[in-house]
Structures are given as structure tokens and as C-alpha cells.
Amino acid sequence: MSVADSIRDRVGSDSDPNDGAGSGLKLVTLLTYLFLYGPILVVVLMSFDAGRYGLRWDFTTEWYASLATRSDLIDSLWLSIQIGIVVMIISTVLAVVAAFGLSRFDWPKRKGPIATYLIFVPLTLPIIIYGIGLYVFFTQLGIGRGFFPIVVGHVLYTLPFATLVVGAGVIGLDRTLEEAAMDLGADPLTTFREVTLPALMPNIVAAALFSFTLSFDEFLISFFVSGGGAVPLPVRIWGMVRADIEPEVYAISVVVLLISIAIAGMATRLRRF
Amino acid sequence: MSSQDDVATDPVRSQRTPETGTLRERILEWADSEVFKGSISLGPVLILLTVFYAVPVALLLIYSIFVEDPFASGLTFEHFGRFIDVSAITSLQFGELSYVRLLGRSIGIAVIVTVLSLVISYPITYYLGQYAPERWKIALVMLVIIPFWTSYLIRTYAWIPILSNNGFINSALTTVGLPTLPLLNNYIGSIIGLVYVFVPFTILPLYASMEGLDSSLIEAARDLGASRWEAFREVVFPLTLPGALAGGVFVFIKTAAAYVTPSLLGGTSGRMYAQVIENQFGTAFNWNFGAALAVILVVVVLGTIWIAMRWGIDVKGSRGLGGGGL
């Protein structure tokens, strides 16, 4: 207990940080959470609403039932999951390799920061620029739009995030464990497989989950390079919202939100902060 | 990720000195060398980044300086000229400067959104960092992070039923006999949606600063007679400002380039710069002009980062926090 605390105790002042201003702060904090989650709640409410807008709200599950008949939405959902899985695998493998390259390799002066910048430039430049660039690029190559360009775009988009998550683990790794394994006669490969990889697993799994959910929810890159039968779910949803609000849009959105919240929740718990 | 230091201080590595020996030993030595390991580990990633990121983006730069097809037509600055619209300037028709004005409006909206995001971020992070009970802290921070990783497209159009003329807010206003407010299809809609989508970018780095703030400093200020507000203004605010600004730079950049939110919520008066870029590729089919507009946006973004770094804002430090795209 500090001197200030003991004086405060004796004087009986009200300046204990947990009351007074604390309650005002609590209220504003609560309002901020309401701001963050209100719209998500609205989507859920609307998905069960028989009418459209307004304060009148009648419960129905018909929009969820009619989702089953929307083969376009089901196809897009399935496509988004497929893209997500492919992107997740490629991105995670590359992220593990890149994370070791960035943190374990004794870079000559200046080249290290350059490599770091190269990997993290995609985090800085507006995604719309990349989406358009990729569209022009694949059109010039004669490949056009479709599954492959989407996967390429999503891998490059998720890679920096995945590298950061794995990299945090590599930096935080206790090197003495690996050294102990080596001293006990394990060759580098065995050490990596038996010691390094298991120790990094939480970060690797988190990186994989983040890659999946980022790809699953990604819209702008897909918007420019999707087509030819390959329309991921966010692009399909965009079309629904732009045309006129079809009531099923809220039901399919709740499905999307549940998938991403579950995956992001798992990843956030695994990630070392 | 400045882990080079990590390696430099590693006793095992630094003890290893290159020795000459048989060819086999030399090959093994080389295979164990940093250069070899480095190129094996980063080579594929850097090649991928070059081919599928740098080249596509550079392609836009190339398109912007050719009349039509790159290398098949002449070099020109006419696309940039069209952006600036010299004839409109010389004829003093400032009303005609539509692209410059649109960029100006986007930057203006970006400033407003950044300021609002910072204003919203301060109370919640002050509470989370200094007052929140320890056992709730992780859960409360997770509650900020999770929306961050969910579809921004869905979270944006969720505002349509809230803000529209017969939406939640205006229905509530009508019920209590107040006039309705135009909140959707104008710049107010854009600003609300953008703040909503990007506020976690300022909350998370600011939370890190608040968390690291020594609470005895606040106590000391209070004991010396400062009111709560004075303690905040004189102690908490200056010490956490770097974290806030690092996040703010990101909100600014992302807002200046926003496409989805103004398209869904902005209408005509909330129209933003990225929408005209998309328009050149989607409907106008003027790739060269679109590319020039894109190059200008990149210059604005990089210029912002450059200025921020000159001001000593740790832009790089808050980079990895981004989820949710855009």
C-alpha cells in the first residue's frame, strides 16, 4: 500500500479509482460494447423477422427454411469454405517458413528490414488497390477470373497476418529446449519435429484459423477476381444487398457470422498476446 | 519482428566459426550457413510476393502512364492531367474539379472518422486498462477483437435497417413524436459505418498503452490536487497518445480508401474516392485513368505513413493488429 493510499484511507476521501468516475466510465464502456454488438444483434433480429423494417417484429424461421432452397447461396457457401481451406493450408505453411526465415536467420544489415517490409506491405496498402491490380494482372495473363485468382489473392492477403501470429510464437520460443534436444543427440530435423513444432502448435493453429476466417469473409479481392461460376459467399451477399434486400440475406449472414465468430474466438484464445 | 538481435545474441550461433575442411564438410557448412537457410526459408515467400503482389500493383502504375495498352501505345500524363483537370483550374471553374474534390472529401471524412474513433476509444480503453477487474479483462478484450475478425460487409449493411428512413432509429423518433433524421445514403451514413468498422483499430493499440500505464502516476496527480479530468488530460492522455495515434494512422488510411461502406451507406453525398476507381474498371472501362486514380490513392496512403513516421508515430507497431480487412 502506497503512502497515498494510507493517507486516503485515513482521510476517507472518495478518490478510490473504482467508484465515482469509475461508474461514468463503466457506462460509456457499456455503451461502446452496445455500439460494437448492436448491429450484429440487429442482423440476428432481422433474420427472424417476418416483416421488413420498423418496430413491429414478428417471429419467423421461414428465411432459414428458404435458405435450403437457395442453391446459389449453398454453392457459394461451399465454395467459400473450399477456398478458405485451400488458402488456410498454403498460407499457414508459408507463414511457418517465413516466420522462421524472418526471426531465426541472421540477416545482413538492412536486408532483414527490407524482407520484413516486403511481407508487411500488403497490410498497409488499400486492399482495393490490390484487388484491382490482381484483376488487371490475371486478365493480362489470359487467366481471367475464377477459383485460382481468388486463392492467390487470399493467400497474399492472409499471409502477413499468419506470419505475424506464427512469428510471435517463434520469437517467444524458449531456445534452450531446442538446444537441450540437440545436446541429447537429436538431429535438427528431429528437434524441429519433436520440440519446435509442438511448442509452436498453438500459434500455428491460430494462424490457420485466422487465415481461414479472413479468407472466408474477404470481399474486395474476390469482388474483382471472382466470376465464371466461382462466386464466393461475400460477393453473392453483396449482390443481394445491392439489388434489393432479399430477406434471406440476414439468415445467411447469421450463418456466416456464427462460423467466423466461432473460428475467430478459438483463434483468439490460442494466440499468445 | 526485429528478431535479428535475437539471433545476434544467441551464444550457439556466434560461437560457430567457419572452418575449412574437406569438400563434404564445406558443403555441410554451407548448408548450415545463414545465407542458405535464409534463402530457403524466405525465398519462396519473397518470390510469391513479387510475382503475385508487387507485379499486379506495379501493373497499375504502368497502366497509368500509357495512353491505352501498355507498351503498345504512347507514354502520357493525360490521365493524371484529367484528375487535376488543368482546364478547369485555368477557367476558374472550381466546381468542375470533381476528382480532386472527391479525394478531398474522402480525406475529410477520413479525418472525421479518425477523430471520432479516437474519442470513442479513450473511455473504453481507460476502463479496460485501469479499472476493469483482472479476471474479466481477457474476456472483455476478446469481445473487442471478435467483431474485428467477422465479415465487415455484413456488419456494415447491418446499419441499413438501423439508419434508414423507416429503420430502428427513425421509427423510434416517430413514435415519440420527433421528426425523422436523414441518416442513410449521405455522408452521415458513411461516417457512422466507417467508425463502426474501424474503431477496433484504435481501441486495440490504445488498450496496449493504457494497460502499460503506471497507475501510480494517476494517483500521484490526484494526490497533488488534480481533478479526475485534469489527471486524465495532464497524465493519461499525453502518455497514451502514441498508441492512439498509431491506431489513428491506420483508421485514416483505411477510411481514405474505403469502398464498401460508402457504397452501402453513403449515397451520393457520402460518395468516396475508391468508388470512382472501381467505376473506371467496373463500368467505364477506362483502365488507364482508373490506374492513375489508384496510383494517386497509393501516394496519399504512403505520404500519410511517411508524415506519421516523421512525426515519430510508431506505425509499424500497430500493423499486425488488423483483422477484418478492407
Range A216-229 average pLDDT: 93
Q: What is the pLDDT of residue B14?
A: 44
Tell me: pLDDT of A53 over 70.
no
Residue B128 lies in a domain: yes
DSSP string across B145-176: HHHHTS-HHHHHHTTHHHHSTTSHHHHHHHHT
pLDDT bracket for residue A185 (50, 70, 90)? confident
Asked if B157's CB is within 8 angstroms of A179's CB, the reply is no
Instruction: Please report, in tens digits, the pLDDT of each residue of chain B (326 residues total).
Output: 444 444 444 444 444 445 556 777 777 777 677 677 777 778 888 899 999 999 999 999 999 999 888 888 888 888 888 887 766 666 655 555 688 888 999 999 999 999 999 999 999 999 998 888 888 888 898 888 888 888 999 999 999 989 988 888 998 899 899 988 999 999 999 999 999 999 998 998 899 889 888 888 888 998 898 888 888 899 999 999 888 888 899 899 999 999 999 999 998 888 899 999 999 998 888 999 999 999 999 999 889 888 988 888 877 655 444 443 33
Mean pLDDT of A72-95: 96
User: B49 touching A, CB under 8 A?
Assistant: yes
Give the ipTM.
Answer: 0.85
Q: Cβ separation of B142 and A20 shorter than 8 Å?
A: no
* Chain A contact present for B303, CB below 8 A: no
Question: What residues of chain A lie within 8 A of the CB of B4, using their CB?
Answer: 106-107, 112
Give the mean pLDDT of A34-62: 84
How far CA B222 is from CA of A14, A99, A117, B132, B233, in Å, comes to 11, 45, 43, 19, 12
CATH of the domain at B155: 1.10.3720.10
Return the pLDDT at B89. 62
A219–B167 CB contact, under 8 Å = no
Q: Please report the pLDDT score of residue A12 as a whole number.
A: 42
Query: Is residue B55 included in any domain, yes or no?
Result: no
The dihedral built from the CA positions of residue B102, B107, B108 and B114, taken in this order, carries a sign that is positive
Which of B147, B291, B319 lies at the smallest CB-CB distance from A36? Answer: B147
Judged by a CB distance cut-off of 8 A, whether residue B317 touches chain A is: no
B137 touching chain A per CB within 8 A? no
User: CA nearest B56 in A: which residue?
Assistant: A133
User: Is pLDDT at A92 greater than 80 in this prediction?
Assistant: yes
Report residue B307 CA to chain centroid gap. Answer: 15
Tell me, yes or no, whether B3 lies in a domain: no
pLDDT given for residue A244 in this prediction: 72
**What cell does A44 get?**
440476428
In a domain, B50, yes or no: no
Report yes or no on B208 lying in a domain.
yes
Please report, as a single letter, which amino acid is at residue B43.
G
Compute the nearest-CA separation of A265 from chain B (Å). 6
CB-nearest to B150 from A22, A125, A260 is A260
Average pLDDT rounded to a whole number, residues A18-46: 86
> Which pLDDT value is given to residue B3?
42
Domain extent, residue B270, equals 83-313
Residues 61-120 of B with CB under 8 A from A: 63, 120
Mean pLDDT of A166-183: 84
Residue A138 banded pLDDT, cuts 50, 70, 90: very high
Instruction: Please state the rounded mean pLDDT for residues A128-149.
Output: 94
Is residue B171 less than 8 Å (CB to CB) from chain A? Answer: yes
Chains A, B: CB contacts under 8 A, how many?
A: 296
CB-neighbour burial class of residue A3 (10 A; exposed 0-12, middle 13-18, buried 19+): exposed
Q: Read off the amino acid at residue A9.
A: D
B123 touches chain A (CB under 8 A): yes
**For residue B136, is it within any domain?**
yes
Task: Please compute the mean of the pLDDT values over residues A212-217 and round it to a whole number.
Answer: 94
B chain contacts of residue A173, beta-carbon cutoff 8 Å: none
Sign of the torsion angle spanned by Cα atoms B113, B118, B121, B123 = negative
Is residue A273 very low, low, confident or very high in pLDDT (cuts 50, 70, 90)?
Answer: very low
**How is chain A split into domains, by residue range?**
21-59, 70-271
pLDDT higher for A62 or A19?
A62
Q: Kindly report the pTM of this predicted structure.
A: 0.85
Nearest by CB to residue B124, choosing from A29, A105, A137, is A29
Number of domains observed in the structure of chain B: 1
- The CATH classification number of A70-271 equals 1.10.3720.10
B325, closest residue in chain A (CA to CA): A218
Instruction: Compare all CA atoms of chain A with the CA of B263 and give the residue at the minimum distance.
Output: A242
Residues A39-61: what's their mean pLDDT?
81
Q: Is residue B40 part of a domain?
A: no
B259 inside domain: yes
Integer Cα distance of B90 and A25 in angstroms: 54
How far apart are the C-alpha atoms of B58 and B54, rounded to whole Å? Answer: 6
Query: Does the beta-carbon distance from B41 to A100 stay under 8 Å?
Result: yes
Minimum mean pLDDT among A2-6, A127-131, B274-278, B284-288: which range? A2-6
